[in-house]
Amino acid sequence: MSEQPNKLFQAYADKENRVSRQALIDVFSESGIRSDDPRVVSLFKLLKKNQTLAISQGLEPDFITPSEFGTLQEISPTLFENVLSGQLAIPQFAEFSQAVAKIFEKVEANHEGHLANYIPQLERVSPDKFGLSICSIDGQRFDIGDSEDFFCVQSCSKPITYCLALEEQGEAVLHRYVGTEPSGKTFNELTLNAKGLPHNPMINAGAIMCGALIKPGAPPSDRFDYVMSKWKDCAGSMKIGFDNAVYLSERQTADRNFALGYFMREKKAFPKDANLQEVLEFYFQCCSIEVTTQAMSIIAATLANGGNCPLTGAQVFRPDHVKNCLSLMSSCGMYDFSGEFAFRVGIPAKSGVSGAIMLVVPNVLGMAVWSPRLDELGNSVRGVDVCLELVSRFKFHTFDSMLGLRDDRSDPRRNIYDSRLGGTIAFCCAASEGDVGEMRRLVARGLDPGACDYDRRTALHLAASEGKVASLRYLLELGVEVNPMDRWGNTPLDDAERQNHLDIISVLTEHGGKRHDERRSRL
């Protein structure tokens, strides 16, 4: 029995039936899949090893045979196929990365804002630092600037603390202790809701409360280990640090957080047996966790991917819990700018006073920006700028999927050729079925009614050849060209005559329809 030809191999093979080793490496890197990605580390090692082996054996080292290709493919079959066939979350990743790099360069010129100064450690950070990282839900990564510098996460810890508490307590129990409503007040305001509970998990009181519900009763050292291990799981095993100086400083200058703690204790808001000192120390520890934007973008991508880490496949949080978390990030994640951010950017995000912003585009990507200068509301100036620029170029706002919305921003989720042709083909099909309603919807989405497929067939050709008068009239009302020629030189009138659709012939003729010979003679 002959073996099935490997279509992936054939797509990349040259005339001598071999694939260039470098070309294969390039496809991965252009797709944003790094050689240190845990899913392909061994694939890249084998690529290198086989090359060395070929050199030592006097064989051709720069090309891959079908059998080596098969072995490489088996290491990570799904990813391998998705990379080589361009079926990843962001199909044109290189172009997307370039556009993000441009945003970075533009925003870098902004030197406005001031460092947080409530603890000395944050004031000592270089104000010009600027890092940006992106990780898609398929693990495509892009970094620029100071993306390997560690910074403390501060309030960006709150979404993770909330998810951990949800995993442990479940929604029904957890939300007996913390609300889901924006407070309308500053993040550390001494205020609770009408039930004497913190307004939501994204402000200090709520995060302190969520912390109290993570492994209550366990020794503080175990709770800390547990949280660190979960951060690491979210980050695909990238290094997660801890800034002890920040922690000690936070603890020393914590009057407001202690006041919040006592206030909640007075209102009997805490679960019984909660030890206030330990609860607050746990909160300060969470704020003092250190990451790079690289790691934080993977954490954000884990959230974008329904709690499943794209690099390892580990299901860290349940998707319904992530949905809860993103809902609250959308309404309460950006301090007193949350409403405006939801309006203008429309992407769930969480900000921290260290100048970090974690952004989650659900089902697409996670992004982390770090730039320590803050605006008067406590958000990173450049961080907010990046978010605004991002949605000015890409359709990432939650409501950018609105029907009828027309603009020239691109949607990086779509392959540009697929979306261009896919829409045209759907439109031609609708025309050939006489489904004017669907045609209208597609036009409302910005589809060009005169567009053609690869055979240069237009919706008008299809309507004419299938005898669909309603489609034909609609197209003519839209003012499409009456005599487009397909690849074989046929006009819609030729199609109608071939099928003997008299009604179509008369409508077309009324509108100046010509046969290809008439048309040709006039050209």
Residues identified as active-site: 155, 158, 283, 335, 353
Contacts with 424 (C-beta within 8 Å, 6 or more apart), sequence order: 447, 448, 451, 452, 453
Q: Rounded to the nearest whole angstrom, what is the least distance from the CB of residue 131 to ligand GLU in the complex? A: 17
Q: Rounded to the nearest whole angstrom, what is the least distance from the CB of residue 46 to ligand GLU in the complex? A: 44
Asked if 286 touches ligand GLU (CB under 6 A), the answer is no
Asked if 200 touches ligand GLU (CB under 6 A), the answer is no
Give the chain's end-to-end CA distance (angstroms, integer): 56
Q: Rounded to the nearest whole angstrom, what is the least distance from the CB of residue 188 to ligand GLU in the complex? A: 5
Question: Which of 89/287 has CB closer to ligand GLU?
Answer: 287
Question: Which of 334/476 has CB closer to ligand GLU?
Answer: 334
Question: Which of 254/469 has CB closer to ligand GLU?
Answer: 254
- Contact between 479 and 460 under an 8 Å Cβ cutoff? The reply is no
Binding pattern for the stretch 220-259 against ligand GLU, x by CB under 6 A and - elsewhere: ------------------------------x------x--
CA proximity to 243, closest of 281, 188, 291: 291
List Cα–Cα distances, 488 to 456, 491, 494, in angstroms.
Answer: 9, 9, 11
Question: Which of 158/230 has CB closer to ligand GLU?
Answer: 158
Question: Which of 207/463 has CB closer to ligand GLU?
Answer: 207
Give the number of C-alpha atoms closer than 13 A to the C-alpha of residue 390, restricted to the C-beta side. 30
The Cα–Cα gap between 357 and 102 comes to: 19
The Cα–Cα gap between 265 and 243 comes to: 28
- Contact between 494 and 483 under an 8 Å Cβ cutoff? The reply is no
CA proximity to 184, closest of 194, 174, 175: 194
The Cα–Cα gap between 460 and 492 comes to: 6
Q: List, edge to edge, every strand of the sheet that includes 349-352.
A: 141-145, 131-136, 365-370, 356-361, 349-352
The Cα–Cα gap between 496 and 466 comes to: 8
Residue of 201, 216, 333, 352 interacting with ligand GLU (CB under 6 A): 352
Q: Rounded to the nearest whole angstrom, what is the least distance from the CB of residue 119 to ligand GLU in the complex? A: 8
Q: Which residue has the tokens 């995000």?
A: 349
Q: Rounded to the nearest whole angstrom, what is the least distance from the CB of residue 378 to ligand GLU in the complex? A: 6
- Contact between 187 and 203 under an 8 Å Cβ cutoff? The reply is yes
Residue of 353, 358, 374, 381 interacting with ligand GLU (CB under 6 A): 353
Asked if 154 touches ligand GLU (CB under 6 A), the answer is yes
Asked if 155 touches ligand GLU (CB under 6 A), the answer is yes
The Cα–Cα gap between 269 and 192 comes to: 10
Question: Which of 295/353 has CB closer to ligand GLU?
Answer: 353
The Cα–Cα gap between 390 and 378 comes to: 20
Question: Which of 20/188 has CB closer to ligand GLU?
Answer: 188
Residues within window 64-123 making contact with ligand GLU, judged by CB under 6 A: none
Question: Which of 151/177 has CB closer to ligand GLU?
Answer: 151
Residue of 151, 162, 177, 187 interacting with ligand GLU (CB under 6 A): 187
Asked if 204 touches ligand GLU (CB under 6 A), the answer is yes
Report, in angstroms and rounded to the nearest whole number, the Rg of the chain calculated over CA atoms. 29
List Cα–Cα distances, 46 to 41, 58, 468, in angstroms.
Answer: 9, 18, 58
Kindly report the backbone phi and psi dihedral angles of residue 177, in degrees, each rounded to the nearest multiple of 5, phi listed first: -110, -15
Residue of 6, 188, 415, 499 interacting with ligand GLU (CB under 6 A): 188
Residues within window 404-463 making contact with ligand GLU, judged by CB under 6 A: none
- Contact between 468 and 433 under an 8 Å Cβ cutoff? The reply is yes
Q: Rounded to the nearest whole angstrom, what is the least distance from the CB of residue 57 to ligand GLU in the complex? A: 58
Residue of 79, 192, 240, 287 interacting with ligand GLU (CB under 6 A): 287
CA proximity to 111, closest of 96, 129, 98, 125: 129
- Contact between 293 and 304 under an 8 Å Cβ cutoff? The reply is no
How many residues bind ligand GLU (CB under 6 A)? The answer is 10
Q: Rounded to the nearest whole angstrom, what is the least distance from the CB of residue 116 to ligand GLU in the complex? A: 8
Q: Rounded to the nearest whole angstrom, what is the least distance from the CB of residue 118 to ligand GLU in the complex? A: 7
Q: Rounded to the nearest whole angstrom, what is the least distance from the CB of residue 310 to ligand GLU in the complex? A: 26
Q: H or E segment at 326?
A: helix 319-332
The Cα–Cα gap between 81 and 70 comes to: 11
Question: Which of 204/432 has CB closer to ligand GLU?
Answer: 204
Question: Which of 92/204 has CB closer to ligand GLU?
Answer: 204
The DSSP symbol for 155 reads G
Q: Rounded to the nearest whole angstrom, what is the least distance from the CB of residue 285 to ligand GLU in the complex? A: 11
> Can you name the residues that pair with 144 across neighbouring β-strands?
132
CA proximity to 166, closest of 204, 205, 200: 200
CA proximity to 366, closest of 305, 451, 409: 305
Residues forming the site for ligand GLU (CB under 6 A): 154-155, 187-188, 204, 250, 257, 287, 352-353
